[in-house]
Amino acid sequence: MLGLLWLIPALPAAGFVALVLGGRRLSRRVAAMVGAGSVGLAALVTLLVAASFIASPPPGDAYRQVLWTWFDVAGLKPQIAFYLDAMSLIFILVITFVGFLIHLYSTEHMEREEGFTRFFIYMDLFVASMLVLVLADNLLLLYVGWEGVGLCSYLLISFWQKDVQNVYAGRKAFIITRVGDTALIVGLFLLFTQLHTLEIQPLMASATANWPVGSGFAVAAAALLLGGAVGKSAQLPLQTWLPDAMAGPSPVSALIHAATMVTAGVYLIARTNVLYELAPDVRLAVAIIGTATLLYAGLSALAQHDIKRVLAYSTISQVGYMFLALGVSGWDAAVFHFMTHAFFKALLFLGAGVIIESLADEHDIFKMGGLRHRLPAVFWTFVIGAAALAALPFVTDGFYSKDLIIATSLGSVDGSIWLYLGALAGAFITALYAFRLVFIVFFGEQQTPVTRLPRRREKLPLYVLGALSVVGGLVWMPGWLGGFHPLESFLDTALPSTELTGSAFAEGAGSALLTIVIVLVGIEIAYLLWLRWRTATARFAARPTPRAIQTFWLHGWGFDWLYERVFVLPAKWFARVARGDLIEPAVGGIAWLHLRGWRALSATQNGLLRTYLTAAGVGVVIVLAFVVLR
Amino acid sequence: MANVPYSYGLLLAAVLFGIGFAGLLVRRNLIVVLACIEIMLNAAGLAFVVAGARWGRPDGQVMFLFVLAMAAAEVAVGLAIAIRFRQTLGSLDVDDADEMKG
């Protein structure tokens, strides 16, 4: 059964090719069946592969499938090969299943859109690229998937390309992630020149053998890969593209900008964890970036008006938690949070998509209100999603993964009290903004009439994801709750386990109790602020100081403003100045020369046979004269 | 026969070829152009025969037979083109067919 592995990325890729070739000729029904069906089949194959992998683990707990040798140049011999271990298995399960649910949702959600086939073309290409990314056996193939998902992200953010703002948003995402990607490819060059291979497992073994802990090369390589991860996963300081990426359709936000692509950075760091073991300073930087990002994004989410931007900042914040986990060597915990986050954040985005469509494209949460009676299905699933996001104790999956990260940030040998306090503060802020959303959108007065109700294929993914958001966390219970943790044992076959200090507070119920209290207090305060004392809150928010803070947070702490002045305007200024430099006439001269040459050559093609013959005759005479008279 | 120097024959062939080629370049009537091509073909054939005689081998004459066969085929195709030419462009002036100019 493991031999079917290649089919998993090949099926969505085949769907992509079929849709491209079919193009406009396909009816919407057929396009939807091909687009969603190919991902569905991939999900089934993934299930088969997973069952066989778990039932009879291959030797070394990893399965490698070599398809062919890509090329062989100067010692660089990358293969098109897939590598399946516990971590990539979790990733492909989430990608194909959540991906299929989102595709299913899109078949109805996008029904009335122009470019329906184009949407599924991009989505299928995205799923195929993402699967290549997480299954790649060498870093070069991983990079192909990495760029593939970046391309699809760009195409799908700009999906409604008739509005130029959407195109700008796509371009911004593309350029900013490119900054990180450049660091990543430089990192790959460094690894290859130093260790002479890009195949991940030999590379990691070679790094351990050749580089002592803290050596310059290990630090440089880890830092460069981190640069790529920061760009893709929208962490500080390359986070500004993600809120604008909400210009794309809601299923895109759910699939790409919440569940899968933005976690590619987490996957990359977890996959190359050996490098980070060798570079403790960079590991600390990962933890600090994660903590800073989760606080930054959480506070920004508190001030947003646009429902999707709230969720976008919350995604940045949750990915920040994953980075924090990676930074304290909690590799398993990061993958666990990736999984639970994929469930509840996809759920929230799909729910938001239904709400936005029901209210005739209204994004402003303050114009929603009172939707719990009109959209009960969305209300209940959205509450489950928000509760999981806020880590409501025991009944949601988000609690188990987030509590694990918070406990690890203190209990790991790399942990510290500052990271722990940051993570706890983040949990409080998360509870606050998650339930601010729920109370403002679903309670209070209804502001905008509901014009359209969700249909069957839109509601079904909400139910499934809602169920997963409840039970998804039960695969890894903390020790003081019985310690049922098959996921940890499974992931430990692929990732090193976290070294703990043995602190009773962090590993026992003490830390968890603190988390529970903080989350419940956060939800209670959200209830008071945005439901019970709603008018008082609005009055307070209108005062000058809170207003200024709100504006500051609303605009993401002025990062866009800063980047505009530091990078964009100087670049534009330089482009303007450089127009009249010395190079310009040289370049223009070359163009002029070509134009002239083209005109002269074009004149000889006058279409008159006799002219051509004369030229041929003259040529013969010259050649003969040359031969005879020489 | 054997007393005529071979260079005379080759010279005749060259002169004939030159006449044909000059006609090809100068004349614009398609029929005359075809006739000029015939002259050039025969000049080439004459050169083959002379060369064959020079080495005392039959190859040159065999080759001339091929040239004759080819010339017949060429005339058939050429006249067919001339008819289509006339139907399409309404004249037989080769300079009218300049639609392929760049």
In a domain, B3, yes or no: no
Burial of B73 (0-12, 13-18, 19+ CB in 10 A): exposed
Q: How far apart are CA A262 and CA A136, in angstroms?
A: 17
Answer whether A613 sits within 8 Å of B28, measured CB to CB. Answer: no
Q: Which residues of A touch B (CB under 8 A)?
A: 601-610, 613-614, 617
Q: Which residues of A touch B98 (CB under 8 A)?
A: 606-608
B19 CB within 8 Å of a chain A CB: no
pLDDT interval class at B96 (50, 70, 90)? confident
Structure tokens at A285: 């930087």
- Domain range holding B26? 8-91
Closest CA to A313 of A281, A345, A274: A345
Looking at chain B, which residue has its C-alpha nearest residue A602? B102
Query: Residue A66 is inside which H or E element, if any?
Result: strand A63-69
Q: Which residues of B touch A600 (CB under 8 A)?
A: none
Answer whether A605 sits within 8 Å of B100, measured CB to CB. Answer: yes
Q: Where are the domains of chain A?
A: 279-541, 546-578
Q: Determine the distance from the C-alpha atom of residue A402 to the mean position of all C-alpha atoms in its chain, rounded to a whole number.
A: 19
Q: Which of B24, B28, B100 sits opposite A613 (nearest CB)?
A: B24
Q: What is the pTM of this model?
A: 0.78
In a domain, B96, yes or no: no
Query: Residue B54 is inside which H or E element, if any?
Result: helix B30-55
Q: Which residues of B touch A606 (CB under 8 A)?
A: 98, 101-102
In a domain, B21, yes or no: yes
Answer whether B95 sits within 8 Å of A610, measured CB to CB. Answer: yes
φ, ψ (nearest 5 deg) of residue B82? -60, -40
Q: Which residues of A touch B28 (CB under 8 A)?
A: 610
Looking at chain A, which residue has its C-alpha nearest residue B33? A610
Low-confidence ranges of chain A (pLDDT < 70): none
Q: Is A412 helix (H, G, I), strand (E, B) or coil?
A: strand
- Beta partners for residue A96, in sequence order: none
Measured torsion, CA atoms of residues A9, A12, A18, A24, in degrees rounded to the nearest 10: -150
pLDDT, greater one: B62 or A114: B62
In a domain, B2, yes or no: no
pLDDT interval class at B2 (50, 70, 90)? low
Looking at chain A, which residue has its C-alpha nearest residue B21? A617
Give the closest-approach CA distance of B97 to chain A in angstroms: 7
The number of domains in chain B is 1
pLDDT digits (tens, 9 = 90+) for A221-249: 999 999 999 999 989 888 888 988 888 89
In a domain, B28, yes or no: yes
In a domain, B97, yes or no: no
Side-chain-facing half-sphere of B15: CA atoms under 13 Å:
6
Q: How far apart are CA A430 and CA A432, in angstroms?
A: 5
Q: How far apart are CA B102 and CA B99, in angstroms?
A: 9
State the DSSP code for A63.
Answer: E
Q: What is the pLDDT of residue A149?
A: 92
Answer whether B98 sits within 8 Å of A606, measured CB to CB. Answer: yes
In a domain, B55, yes or no: yes
In a domain, B101, yes or no: no
Q: Are A243 and A283 in contact (CB under 8 A)?
A: no
Closest CA to B52 of B12, B9, B18: B9
Answer whether A607 sits within 8 Å of B21, measured CB to CB. Answer: no
Closest CA to A239 of A192, A196, A295, A164: A295
pLDDT digits (tens, 9 = 90+) for A514-557: 888 998 999 999 888 888 888 888 888 888 888 888 888 888 88
Q: What is the CATH number of the domain that holds B28?
A: 1.10.287.3510
